[in-house]
Structure formats: structure tokens, C-alpha cells
Structure 1
Amino acid sequence: MPLREATSIDGLGELTQDADLTLTADPPLALALDRRVKRPQLGRVGATPRGYAVNEFTPMDRRKLFEQLVTETELTWKQAHRALDRTLSCWDQTGTLDSIRTHDEFDTPAIRTAVETLRDGDSSYHALTERSLPADQDVAVINEAALSSLDRRLLPDEYDTVEPFTGDTTSVPEFHVFPSATAIVDALLAQLDAHSAESVGIVLDESTVFSPLVESALETAEIPYQGGPGFVDDDSVRTFLRLCDAVFAGSDLRVADLRPLLARVGVTIERRADQRRVDRVDGLDVFDDFRTALTDGTLRDAIGVYERLAGTELGPLREECASLGLLDEAFTSAHLDRLQYYLASFDVPVDRESEGVLLTDGASTAYIDRPVVFYLGLGDGWAKTPPDVPWIDSVEYIQRDLDRFEILLQNGHEQHFLVQDTRAGAEVTPCVYFRELFERPFDRFTELPHTDHGDGVTRDRIETPFVAPSSDETANSPATVSQSTLSRLANCPREEFFHRLVDSPTTIPMARGTVVHEAAELYVAHPDAIRARFEDVVDAMLAQLQAYTATAREPVERTQLALALETVMAYLDANPPVETTHEAYSDRTQSNELGDRLGLAAESPLTERWFDAPEIGLHGFVDLLQSATTMVDYKTGSQSRASRLRKQASLSPLDESPNFQAAAYLSQQRRDRPGEPLEIRFVHVLEYADQLARGDDISVDELVTTVEYLPCTFGEFAARRETFEAVTDYADSNDRVKALEPLGYEAYRAFFEDHDLPRAGVAPDRREAIIETFIDYTKELFKDTKYVEQGCRAAVEDIDGLVGERYLASDLDAFEEFVATQRERLGRYREEGFPVRVRDEGPNWDRVDTRDLVIDE
């Protein structure tokens, strides 16, 4: 159906100008009518029934009634809140306090307690049942259908009714579709300034990102506004509650939890310490003062300490806690839970600005008394859901809310609908009421009359990337990069910018990995000492992690460290390092904290070897040079197969989880040992920790993933004896075996040495011709049977699969070209800016550590 035309606030004022009192269910409308009084008037012209009964603009007595219930009865806070809400709702809708007890499911001890407390209590609900209007007063009622049964008890026998709709119809304004929430706020801010603020209203869903974005944008632009964050959203109150949470967190409290207070009192702790336990960090005396006040004193004491440290006042919080009986008692975590539940359940009034842009929630009102109104989002949060209680008719409830929504859309002389069509790749669902306002089906805003203000985030961000601030770095390509830098550049270049700009905190997995690597390094240098002092070594490893792990988890962590060290020892005992000279590596430059704790020097020339190779554009550390041709890298994370590691290093297309470590280290080792087969072994020391803890027998080989490099072409790889044995490693009945075993390795090798077979995807015509020649060759030497062709083709497919787990010479050549390209791009990024994405589908956000900084809108 079309949009019913709503009578404007000015029109309603004219229609009710002769009335002594105008009643409405909408508090903002009552206030707007007061503003339009043109003749002397004693008392208010517009009011809600409950507001009139207690002479308040908006009665806020739910909190007072709740405080009465929790202080004067035996009800728990949750019982009191639920009983109060249901009782007041039923009283309001039915007009009778006792009516809730006619419903068996609500005739409970908690409800009966609430009813008896409310019967004699002082409240706007009670006042409304006793108040009546003077008989000679002219009364007008706007939108009588929106009044509850309790509201109607105030109405006199005779009164004038004013309908909110004119009886005509109008159309919904055109939607303005933007590519992101930030684009909407930018467009909004371009229309505002401090001088026009009083003329503007902004309607949004307070539960969405629009609320903080708009508030911060207005504050930054120094544009005053009304509305906005509530009591619990106040920065000081939120910080105080977080600190109370932190106190009761015990030994698991982290430095990151204290940053709000630390910033307020000028205490600076390096970001790398964010995940460290507070009791393991020096320089936090201010928190110790707060913790002592809260645990040894009262909530009043803790508030006082916070105010002194933060240089702010928490008077309203002190008053609320006093009324709840919490202020001067010993404060526990249970008290904190109750306080947080209360603040999340009740709207505590705050002192707000009374001038500037008016911010309003899209589901809370029908009237905005501003000439220009912006509507942001218009999503599914703009419609109310009927409460599931028997005294509310859901059909009538939805109809009243639809009426409210239609009126809301027509406020002011100008209405601007600013929306998104998609958010985070998903379609934005328009408010369900729009389905009642259009005569055709639709699923998204772009299917309705609209103007598009952007052609998508992806193109925007590639053409106008994030611009890096000036620095001492030149725009020239860097001489070398690490394999981790390559992965970030391939996934999300902007993350590489923030990785260099912002320190990343050390986490428990990082700290665990470091201490395991240090233990492995010490075992190479001092195997006998580590064996003899095994328990002391594990204790020292645990001590190094205690700054990051909770006390309760220390036994588990110690077991994991012991298993990791045992695995390292078992691997190195089975594969002892071979003393070899490596010209392409430098001496270690990193310290070994575990060695310092144990009094052991990490002095092996084979461990933690640094390379810086401008020839290939790479640098990095190798955990262990086990032999002339074998490198080792210890992993504390989950294990991947060699084929998966090769897939993650794919260059075209790039994998969604890029990982170039194997390629980078094999390229470096190829410099050290040109022309030789090489391998890197990833030893996963915690992959089977649970099984090992149970005593299961796990072979060391099961913990190792090996990635090989062979200095040959694909055709040369096909001709190797190992390849022939692999493609014939099947049952005798398999077509591959029946075709190739009679042929024999020598004839197989001779063919592939004479025919340079391309790998799959390279020169497909030549590849197919060689395969057909191979089939004919095999038939001539054996006999023409059907399984010869099938066996030969299957064997060639196997060769492709075998190469998929290895690097050949051409693979590393291509990788080194890729490195050169990425270094050139990095040089350009430093001058032009770091884009979010280099692939059409965008980055893999699960791999972006600085997700909150990398804005993609």
C-alpha cells in the first residue's frame, strides 16, 4: 500500500490550539506541542498521561520501583527485574494492577510480591489511577489508538480526538545508497556545521555501528548534539566497571585490560606487554592501589581511588550504587555482576546537552521536531517485536508500530534516507515495514527507487588506497624482505603498513614458540646438560611463560613444554646435526633468554642462522642447519601436509592463506648449495601432545613435514627412478603396473630423457602429443591393450601430483621473480599508500592481525 500522509507537528499544533491540554503517547510530540504555544498558559499544553499524572516530562520510576523491590523484599535482582517488567506491562495494557494474576503462568510468588509492593508504592502508574482531569478542561487526544488502557483512565467523558494521518497518501522518498557506513557518515557530515545543528535530526539504530560513528564524527567536527550514549556508555563508568572486572579476574589479568586507566594517569607500558599478566609487570602501582581499595575496602573507596587517579568525577555512579545499597558494603564479584546487570537493564538518566543535532533511535519514537531529518540505515532494527505475553495482541501491536514508523518517515520539511545495500559482503535487509509500503516484492534497497553514491568498496579502495604518512623510508624498493612480509603483502598490503607502524603484543602462543625454539637451540649446543637437567629446564621454560599464562593452567602448560622438549630431543637424537660450513649465513644476533636462565650459552654455529640475500631479495632466520642440504624449522602450531604448504605458496592464483616460508628458505639454501637436492623439515613438536600425554607411541617421523627441492625440470623429474617407483607402487592388477612394469625403468627413463614432458597447464598441446607418443612407445615395446593407454595416462597424472609436493628449479625461479615484484610494489606503496586488497575477492580476514585498523569501507 502507499504511505499514508501524516499530519505534521505544526499541523497537529494548529488542530489542538484551542485545547487546554493535549494528550499523546509520544513524549517528543508533547514537548514539541509545548514549544508551539502562542498564548499565555498555566501548566503544560502537551503531555503523556503518566507524565501529566506526576507532572514530569518522562516518568523514570522503573529504577525507583526496582530499588524498592531489591531492598525491601527477598527477591533476587533478576527475579525483581523480570517481575517488575511483566507487572508494569500488564498494568499498563489492561489498566488493572491485579490482572496479571489471572494468567496462571504469571501467578508466581515473585509476581505476587511485585503486585503487593506496587499496590501502595509511589509511582506514575499508581498516580494515573488516582488522577482525574477538571470537568471544565478542554482536552484533545492525538492518536488515541496508541494510548494504553491505563492511559485511557485519565480521559474525561468528553474530549476531542485528532488522527495522526490526513487521509491522503504520499510516496516514500528516494533512497540514497552508499557503499559503506563510513561513506554515509562522511556524506552526512558534509551537510552539517555548528550553525545548522539546531535544524537537524538524525535517526538511527542505536545498536548498530552508526551510533558510535556519528557521535565520534560530530565530536571531531565540534558540532554539538543531543542524545547519544547512555549512562553505561560513559567512558569513565565503562572504564571503572572494566577495572572492577579486572580485579576479580585474578592472576589471569592482562596488561591490555588496564590500558584505559593507565592512559588516564599517564602510565605507559609497551604494547608488546599487552598479554602479560599484571602481577608479572613492574610499574603498575596505580592499579595495586585500586585493587586494594576494592578488595579490602568498599565500593565507595574504589570510586574515590579511581576519581583521584583518573582526575574525573563519578558522582552519578556513586548515587546509583548508594540507592542500591552497594556503596558502603564489602564489594565482591557477585555484587559486580548485580551492578552490571542493573546498568544493562535500566536507563539511568544522564545530564545531556540541550542544544545541537538531535540523535534519536529509530525504534523509540514517531516524532522528530526538526526541519531537516536524516534517516541512517533503515534496517531491520527499526521495527519492534511484540512481547510474547498474553495481555498484548501481537497484531494490534504491530499495527501501532507500523503507524509509528510511517509517521517517523515524514518528519521535517526535508527527509533524507541514507542506506547501505550490502555490509561485509552480505545484503542489508530493509526494515520489514517497507514491505507494507510498496506494492511489489523486493529484497534490497537497490531494488527500490534510489540514487547510487558509489560503485563498490573494492574499486574504491584499489583506486584510492590508504596513504602512508611521510617517513624516513624512501620509495625505493627494499633490498630484502622476509617471508612473513611477503605473505602479508600478498594477502593485505595495508596490514604490512600497520605491522611496521604498530607493535604487536606478545601472546601466549608466541611466547611458547619462542621458549621451545630456545630450548631446541640449547639442546644442539649442550645435549648432555639438557638431558641431565631436564626437569630444571622445563621449570625454567615455564617460568619464562608465567607472565602470560593463568596460574590454574600452569600444570597443563608445564606438561606441554615437557612434551615439546622431549619431541625436540627425540628428533635431534634420531637426526643429529652434521657440522658443515655454510657460507651464505651469518652469526646469530638474537639472545636466548632460556639459556641466560640456565647459565648455558647458545653457541652452536648451526642454530638461529641469519641470512640477508639481496640477490634474491630475502632475509630471515633458520632454526637449524641440520646438514649441508637439510634445514629444520620448529613449529608449535598445527601440522600441514607438504601438498598443503605447496598450495599455500601458489603464485597464480594466490592462495587465500599465503605461506612462502618453504620457498624462501629453499631459495636461500640454493645459494649455499647450488645444483644439489635440498629439503626443509617442519618439526611439529605439539601436534600429538594429547596422545603423548596419554602414553601413546608416536613415531618422530609422524611429526615431520618435509618439503623437497630438486634442481631439475619437470621432464627430468619424470625420468627419475624414484618417480618411476612411485607411479608403479600399486597392486599388480592396477593399470599403471600392468603397463609400466613390463616396460621397465630403463626404457621408461630413456623415453622421458628424449621427450621433455611439460607439467600440467604448460604447453597443453605439446604435453598431449608427448603423452600419446609415450602410449604408442609403450604399446610397441609391449602390446596394444586398453589398459596400456589408461595406465600411461594415470601414471602421468601421478607425476603431476608428486611434483605438487615439491619445488623444482622453475618453481623457485618463478618465486624469486615474485619476490622482486613484491619488493617493487612495496617501494610504490611507501610512496603512494597501502591498499587493502590486491585480489578481487579481497584479503583473507582471518589472516589479518590488525583487523580493527584495516578499515575496509
Structure 2
Amino acid sequence: MPIRRANPVDSLYADLAEYDLVVTPDAPLARAIDRRLDRPHFGTFATTPRLLAAGRRERAEDRLAFLELVEETDHDWKAIAYAVGNVLQCWEHRGSLDAILEYDAYVDDVTREVVERLRTLPTTSKRLTEYEIDGDRSVAVVGYDRLTALERSVLPDAFDRVDLFTDGAFDHPPFQVFESTTDIVTALLDAVSERNAGRVAVVLDGGSRYSSLAESALEAADVPFYGGPGFADDPHHRAFVRLLRLGSRGSDVTVGEVEPLLSRLDVDVPVDDREKRLAAVESPELAWVRAFRDAVADRTFSEALDAYERETGVELARFDEELRALGIADELVTDQGVDRLAYYLRTYEVPVDRENEGVLLADAKSSAYVDRPVVFHLGMEEGWTHSAPRRPWVDAETQFERYVADFQRLLQSGDRQYYLVRDTAGGEPVTPCLYLGDLLDAEFDRFSDLDSVEHRRRARATGTGFDREPLGVDPETVETVSQSSLNSYVNSPRDYFFGRLLDSPDQERFVEGNLFHDFAEFYVNHPDAVAAADTAELVDLMLDAAAPFGSADDETLRRRKYRIGMELIASYLDENGPQSDEFLTPSSGRGTNRFAEHFDEPVDSPLTERWFEDSSLGVKGKIDLVRGPTRLLDYKSGSRKRPSRVVASSAVDPPTDTPNFQAALYLTYYRTLRPDEQLEFTFFHFLEPMADVIAGDADLDDALATVTYHPRTFDEYVASRDAYEALLDGYTDCRETFDDLGYAAYREAVAELSFPDTREKDELRASEFAAAFTAAVDAGTSSDVDAEKGSDQAIRELNGVRKRAFFREDLDAFESFVDERLGELNERRAGAERFPVAGREGGPNYRRVDHRDLLLEGSR
């Protein structure tokens, strides 16, 4: 069905002017009609049934009933709130207080007590039940079908109905499609000023980012507004509840977790400390918070609030009133008490005094009409759709029709309407409000499928991107990238960009990883010093360094982890340590080493922590250990990955959604030093055998993952003696077949063949290579072997080698890939275009981004 045209307020007033009383379904419409009153009128002219019955100061009856019952009963607060909500809702839809008692599934002792208490409380519903409009007055009801059964009960026997809609259709304005929520709020701010604020309304989802962004933007621009954040959203109210919760968090709470609270206390937290435990950070600014946390269990809620007010210099009298209304002001702060307080603030809207001036912020799900000349509708997404009450006393179909009718009226509020929306979020299409699907005669999945206008950021002459004033400074060129930077950039260029702009906090896994690296480096240089040292002393050294990230409860587990990790590293190096460094040039080393400082010994071997940077290749990095002229090693504290997984993660055409280019990057550099030699890169996952160590049957080989670089193409490798020997060490039929064939005949069989690019087993079996190879092998072997099966196993074995190793063409392609990414990166740094969220193959993989909250958009 099309969007029905709403009856304009001026037209409504023309039809209603001669009546004594006009009843409307919502207060904003009543006020709009009242404002058009052009003749003297005694008493109320336009109003809602609830305002008519309750007077001009209607109170939230659900909160009133809840507070009364909390004070007079010992029932659980959630049970009270649940029962109050059910009783009032059933009363609204059935018109009778006792109607709830007809539904056995919703009746219990709490419900019965709520019903009896509501008989005497001066709620609006009770007044509606008792009120009746004087039959001598001429009454018009606007939108009768929007009134509930209880609201209709006040109407006289005779009244006239006026429809909210006309017979015409509403030709809605186009959707203005922006790239992000930030762009939408910026566009709003461009149109609103302090001078015109009183003529503007903004309709949005009150629980969405639009709400907080719009409020912050208007406040920063000194544009007055009202209808925004409620009592529970007050920053100091939220901070106080957070502070109360610290009492139950123990010593594990981190500085970052209380950062919103600290901002209310004007405490600036260093980035490095955000992941550390609050108790472990020695800072005078944090002393008050720690002292409050330690003493809060001995304070009442009122005393805790007084302490917060003294520290912040603010007065929270309204919050104190709520504590007293709830009857908990003089109770000691407990976990249960804080949970109940937080539940109350989440459940009920506490009234606040507002200055009704400036831009009106209206919640899309609680408004049906906004009386402002200019109305901006922000978002219009799925969050605008109501969740219909699932109760037997609610007619779901009728309720849905009410929601759709309200939505249609809301779309037409104002003389001018602007629909500001976005098309994608996080790389996925944004789902428009579901009501649009019932109202628009079009098939659509996103806003751009409808009548819309795209708003992209203005382009510079050199390409797309921000239009900014030239600074007269040439951008710095990035000449080399590390493997971690390349991983980040390929996954999400914008995440990489923010990583360059923002400092990252110290994190437990990195701190522990660095400690193990320091130990390994020191052990290579001074094994005798470690052997002579007390292991417990070394564990203490690591424990002290990582203390800000752990609690006393897990100290025993940490000690075991650190001891076993050091023992496994030492055992590996004892068996596989480098014998000589004569093949390397001296190295001055980079950074500090905690163990070297502890023992007061240098770590200056060129074999450990060897830094490299090659601008001709565009790569840089640090090799943990050079085991020999052709063997490199990297320590990893995480779980072991198979060599095939390591190679697969280094793919460049296309990259995977879990890119990891470390092995490829290090081998690319190192082959320039040993250009014609076979190289090995080994990941030593030294914590992998921990469980086996505890069980007494550890095998260090289970912790190793080695990938090989062959200084030849894969086709050259296939024809080599090495490949032939690999087949002789393979499956049974493969071994028998190629032992019978011999190396000379094997080399001749593959000399003119090229191994397919695919790595899929079925595609390899169906390839021309497989057919020609099998025929040649069959012709060169005796009938005693199964040449067909042996050939099939050989192809699988050769493909397995390719999956586990790098060949010349692989690293050549990687060099080109790095060069292309550097060129692309530097163009973006120079302003040719924005750093996109998505990498080359879409995405990003959000499990691998570091700044998720800053990645608001898709690939554009």
C-alpha cells in the first residue's frame, strides 16, 4: 500500500474549530492543534484522554506503582516491575484492572498484590476508569482507531470522528544517502544554528549512535536542544553507578574499564596503562578511586554519593531523591543493591527538568507527530521498528496497524522533511525500517534501491577523498613495511592508518611474549648464567614485569607457565642452538632486554634479534634467531600452525582473510643474502607442549612449524632429484611405482610438462598434466606396480610440497605485491583517496582489527 497522506494540522483545525473538546491520540498533535486556536476558549480545547483525566501533570504510572510497591513489600524488584508492566498493559488494552486475572499464566502472588494496590493508587489509568466526558459538550475524536480500550472508555455516547489521514497518497522526498553516521550528523549541523534551532526537529532512534552523536555535535556547536539524554544517561549518574560496581570487581578491574568514570573525575589515563589492573598502577590520580573501591562496602548509598559529589564538585540532589524514593539511601552498598539500582535506572524513565528550547530531539519509536516546520529524519533503520508486545491481551494485528499509522504520520511531520540515511555499515547493507517494506511499491534491500540522492565527500582534482586546504608540506613517504604493518594494511587499510595515528596500550600477551623473547635472546648469549641462576628468581622477574595484568588468584598458573616456557626454550636451544656467527656481519642490536639488565650482561650477538631494513625491497623486521647460514627461527607463544597454513596465509593473489606475511617477508629479505641456497624459516611455538610437559611426555618437534624456500621455480623443483626422493619417501604405491621407474625416466616424464596452478585435488586429477604424467609413468613401469594409483599419489605428494614451501615465483610475486601496496599506501597518504575500511578482497576480518570502534563504514 502507498504512504497515506496525513491530514495537515491546519486542515484538521479548520474541521475542529467549532467543537468544545478535541480528543487526540498523542500530546504533540494536541498541542499543535491548540497552537492554532484563533478564538477565546474556556478550558481545554485539544488534549489526549490521559491528560484530560489526569490533568496537565501526568505522572509515569508504572514508575509510581513500582516505587509504592518497593516501599511496601519485600518482593523482588524485577518481579514487581514485571507484574506492574503486565497489569497496566492489560488494563490499557482491555479497559479493566481485573482483566489480567483472566490469564492464569500471568497471575501469581505479586500480580494479585499489584492489582489490589493499583485499586487505591492515584494512577492515570485509575482516573481514566473513573472519568467520563460531559455529554453536553460537542466532542470530536481525531484518530479514534489509535485509542486503546481504556482511552475510549472516557468518551461520551455521542462524538464525531475525524480521520488522521486523507484519501490521497504522500509523495515522500528522496532519501539522502550518506557514507556514515558522522557525515549525516555533519550535514545536520550544517543546516542548524542557534538562530533557527526553535524551528527544527530531529527524529532518530534514541538508543542508536545517531542520538549520542547528534547530542554531542549540537552541544559542541552551542546549539540548544531538548528531548535528548534522560536521567540515566547523565554522565555523572552513569559514572557513579560504575564507581559503585568497583566494590565487587576485586583486583581484576583494569584501568581501561573505568576510563569513562575517570574522565568524569578529570583523570587523564596514559595509553600504556589502559590494559593494566587498577590496583597495580601507582598513580596519585587513581588513589582516590582505589580508596573509594576499598571502602565502599562500609558506606551507605547516600554516603557514597556524598563522597562522589565532594570529589567531583557536582551536586546530584535529584539522584539522592531517587535513592530515598527507592528506600536504599541509608542501606549499605552491596552487589545486590547496586544491581537493583542499575535495573531500576534501566527500566524506568526518571523525570528530569528540561529547558524546552532549541532543536527538538524526538525518539522515532515513541513519537507519531512532530510540530516543527523543518524535520530531519536520521537513520530510518531497523531500530525504528517496534517489537510488538507478545501478550494474549494485545491484538498483534491491530497493534501493528497502529505502529504503521504512526510511522506514516511521522514521515510527514513538518513543512519540509529530510530523510538522512546511510546505505552500508561495516561493509554490509543497512536494513531500512521494516515498515517501509509495507508502504513502498518497490522491491528494495537498501536505501540506494529507492528514490535517493548520494552524498559523497567532495573530491579533489587528483581523485576522491577529503577536500582539504593544502598545508604546504610534502607528505612523508613510507619506504618499508614490517610484516605486522603489512598484515594490518591488507586486512583493513583504515585500521592500519589508525594504528599509525594512535598509541596502543600495553597488553598482557605482548608483554609476556616480549619477556620470553628476552629470555631466549639472553640464553643464546649467556647459557651458563641462566644455568647457574635460581629458576624461581627468573620466574619472579617475569612475574613482576607482568604483574599489572594479572591477579594474585592466577599467580600459581603464571609461575608454572613461565617456568615451563623457559625450560622448553632452553631445551630447544641446547639441542638446536647456533654453533657459529662467522657467516654474519656484526649487529648492534635494538631495544633493551630485561634479563640482560637483571644479570648486568650484554646481549650483542649478531645471531639474536637481528634487525634488517631494505628499502629496495620495501621490507623491514627483526629475526629472533639466525640458527645457521640458511636457517631462521621465530619464537611464538601462541598455538602451532601447520606449514601449509603458514604458506596459505602468505597468499597474495588473492590474500586470505587471515593474512600473515612474516615467513614470506623474512625469506624474501634473507634470500638476497643467500640468493642460490635453500632456506628454512621455523616457528617455534614454545608453549605448545605445555600440557605434555605436565604429563611427562613432551616432544619439542610438536612445537615446530618449518617452511622451506627453494631457489627455483616449482616446475624446476618437480623435475629435480629432491622431488624424486620425496616420492620415494611417500605413499606405498607411489614409492613402489617410482622406484621401479627410476629417476632418469621420471625426469624425462616431467621435462616437457607444467604443473597446474590449482591446488585443488579434484582439479589436479582432471588436468592435462595428470593424464600425460600418468601415461608416461605407466609406459615406463612394469605390470608389477599400480602405475595409475602411484601417479595419483605422486601428484598429491608434489602438491603437498608446494603447499608447505615457497618457490622462486612465490617470493617474486610477494616482492611485487609489497611494491604495489607501498605505492598504494603512499598515494593514500598524499591524499589521493581515503584509506578504505576493506582490504583488497573485501572484508575486513573484524577479528583482526585493532580499532573496531573507529571503522564505521564499508569499503567506500
Does the alignment reach a TM-score above 0.5?
Answer: yes
Any idea what the Cα deviations from partners look like across 1:736-763, whole Å, max 9, x if unmatched?
44553222124445777x769677389x
Name the residue aligned to 2:59. 59
Are residues 1:682 and 2:683 paired? yes
- Match of 2:397, SS state, is helix
Is the partner of 2:213 in helix, strand or coil?
helix
What's the counterpart of residue 622 of structure 1?
623
Match of 2:378 among 376, 379, 383: 376
More moved, 72-81 vs 472-481? 472-481
Matches of residues 696-711 of structure 1 in structure 2 within 5 Å?
A: 697-711=697-711
Aligned match of 1:415 = 417
CA offset at residue 170 of structure 1? 4.3
Deviation for aligned residue 1:503: 1.0
Cα deviations by residue, 1:87-112 (Å, 9 ceiling, x for unpaired): 11122223322222232223310011
In structure 2, what is the equivalent of residue 545 of structure 1? Answer: 546
Shift in Å, 1:524: 2.8
| Counterparts in 2 of 1:262 and 1:598: CA distance versus 1, 3 Å | farther
Alpha carbons 2:618, 2:818 under 8 Å: kept: yes
Assess if the C-alpha contact under 8 Å between 2:490 and 2:659 holds in 1. Answer: yes
Q: Which residue of 2 aligns with 1:9?
A: 9
CA distance in 1, matches of 2:317, 2:518: 52
Q: CA deviation at 1:476?
A: 5.2
Q: Is it true that 1:745 corresponds to 2:743 in the alignment? A: yes
Residue 805 of structure 2 corresponds to residue 803 of structure 1: no
Q: CA deviation at 1:373?
A: 2.5
| Residues paired across the two proteins, number | 846
> What code does the residue aligned with 2:406 have?
R
Counterpart residue number, 1:829: 828
The 8 Å contact of residues 371 and 413 in structure 1, kept in 2 or not, is answered as yes
In structure 2, the partner of 1:509 is 509
The separation in 1 between residues aligned to 2:246 and 2:679, in whole angstroms, is: 51
CA contact (8 A) 2:4 2:170 kept: yes
Cα deviation, residue 365, structure 1: 2.4
Change (3 A) 1:668 1:66: same
- Aligned equivalents of 1:468, 1:549: Cα separation in 2: 46
**Are 1:659 and 2:660 counterparts?**
yes
Q: Quickly say closer, same or farther: Cα 1:788–1:270, change in 2 above 3 A.
A: same
Deviation of 1:650 (Å)? 1.9
Q: What code does the residue aligned with 1:804 have?
A: K
- Write the distance in 2 (CA, Å) between the matches of 1:213 and 1:24: 33
Name the CA shift for 1:800/1:473 in 2 (closer, same or farther; >3 Å): farther
Mean CA deviation greater in 628-637 or 7-16: 7-16
Cα distance change on mapping 1:30 and 1:719 into 2, 3 Å = same
CA-to-partner distance for each residue in 1:422-453, whole Å, 9 max, x for gaps?
443444444343344345665554554x1241
Counterpart of 2:87 in structure 1 is 87
1:331 paired residue number: 333
> Matched residues in 1 for 2:193 and 2:53: separation?
40
Q: Does 1:21 align with 2:21?
A: yes
Q: For the residues of structure 1 that align with 2:39 and 2:467, how far apart are their CA atoms?
A: 59
Alpha-carbon distance in structure 2 between the residues aligned to 1:92 and 1:779: 87
Contact 2:22 2:142 in 1 (8 A): yes
Whole-Å separation in 1 of the counterparts to 2:59 and 2:463: 53
Does the 8 A contact of 1:477 with 1:825 survive in 2?
A: no
Q: Which 10-residue stretch deviates more, 257-266 or 397-406?
A: 257-266
Q: Which residue number corresponds to residue 757 of structure 2?
A: 760
Please give the alpha-carbon distance, in whole angstroms, between the structure 1 residues aligned to 2:266 and 2:396: 54
Distance 1:600 1:536, change over 3 A: farther
In the TM superposition, what are the counterparts of 1:262-281 in structure 2 within 5 Å?
262-281=262-281
Deviation at 1:78, TM superposition (A): 0.5
DSSP-derived class of the 2:82 partner: helix
CA drift of 1:596 comes to 4.0
Relative to structure 1, is the Cα distance of residues 264 and 362 closer, same or farther in structure 2, using a 3 angstrom cutoff?
closer
Residue 565 to residue 185, structure 1, CA distance change in 2 (3 Å): same
Which residue in 2 is equivalent to 1:208? 208
Cα deviation digits, residues 751-807 of structure 1 (max 9, x gap): 77x769677389x9xxx9998987787567557999757755763564344133222
- Measure how far apart 1:623 and its partner are: 1.7
Q: TM-score, normalising length from structure 2? A: 0.89
Give the distance between the partners of 2:410 and 2:444, measured in 1 at CA.
22
Structure 1 CA distance for aligned equivalents of residues 134 and 498 of structure 2: 70
The 4+ residue runs of structure 1 with deviation greater than 6 A are: 466-473, 768-777, 783-787
- Alpha-carbon distance between aligned partners in 2 of 1:242 and 1:522, rounded to the nearest angstrom: 44
Instruction: Tell me if structure 2 keeps the 8 A contact 1:63–1:346.
Output: yes
Distance 1:591 1:611 in 2: 17
Is structure 2 residue 493 aligned with structure 1 residue 496?
no
The equivalent of 1:145 in structure 2 is 145
Q: Distance in 2 between matches of 1:742 and 1:469?
A: 75
How far is 1:808 from its partner?
A: 3.0
- Structure 1 pair 600/110, CA: closer, same or farther in 2 (3 Å)? farther
Residue pair 1:540, 1:598 contacting (<8 A) in 2 also: no
Q: CA deviation at 1:715?
A: 4.3
What is the aligned partner in structure 1 of residue 632 from structure 2?
631
What is residue 73 of structure 2 aligned with on the other side?
A: 73
Deviations 1:224-268 (A, max 9, x none): 322222222222222222233334311111111232343344433
Distance apart, 1:842 and its partner CA: 4.5
Q: Unaligned 5+ residue runs, structure 1?
A: none
> Who is 1:102 aligned against?
102
TM-score under structure 1 normalisation? 0.89
Q: How much does 1:293 deviate?
A: 5.5
Please list, as runs of the form range in 1=range in 2, the aligned pairs for 1:376-775 lying within 5 A after superposition: 376-438=378-440, 443-448=445-450, 450-453=451-454, 464-465=464-465, 475=475, 477-531=477-531, 533-584=534-585, 586-596=587-597, 602=603, 605-693=606-694, 695=695, 697-732=697-732, 734=733, 736-737=734-735, 739-749=737-747, 760=757
CA gap 1:256/1:314 in 2 versus in 1, 3 angstroms: same
The answer to whether the 8 A contact 1:715-1:755 is kept is no
Three-state SS of the structure 2 residue aligned to 1:411 is: coil
Mapped to 1, the partners of 2:382 and 2:496 lie a distance apart of 37
Contact 1:174 1:451 in 2 (8 A): yes
Give the aligned residue type for 2:56: E
Alignment of 1:787-798 (within 5 A): 795=794, 798=797
Greater shift after overlay, 109-118 or 780-789?
A: 780-789
Q: Give the distance between the partners of 2:430 and 2:479, measured in 1 at CA.
A: 46
Deviation at 1:849, TM superposition (A): 0.8
**Separation of aligned partners in 2, 1:421 and 1:261:** 35
What SS class does the counterpart of residue 590 from structure 2 fall into? coil
The AA in structure 2 aligned to 1:745 is Y
Map of 1:321 onto structure 2: 323
CA contact (8 A) 1:546 1:554 kept: no
Name the aligned partner's letter for residue 346 of structure 1. Y
Q: What's the % identity of the aligned pairs?
A: 37
Matched, 1:340 2:342: yes
Which range is displaced more, 336-345 or 496-505? 496-505
CA distance in 2, matches of 1:423, 1:487: 23
Looking at structure 2, the residues matched to 774 and 502 of structure 1 have their Cα atoms a distance apart, in angstroms, of: 56
Residue type at the aligned position of 2:540: D
Whole-angstrom CA distance in 2 between matches of 1:522 and 1:472: 48
Unaligned runs of 5+ in 2: none
CA distance in 1, matches of 2:538, 2:258: 32
More deviation in 5-14 or 35-44? 35-44
In 2, the alpha carbon distance for the partners of 1:388 and 1:523 equals 67
Alpha-carbon distance in structure 2 between the residues aligned to 1:358 and 1:200: 7
Find the counterpart in structure 1 of residue 164 from structure 2.
164
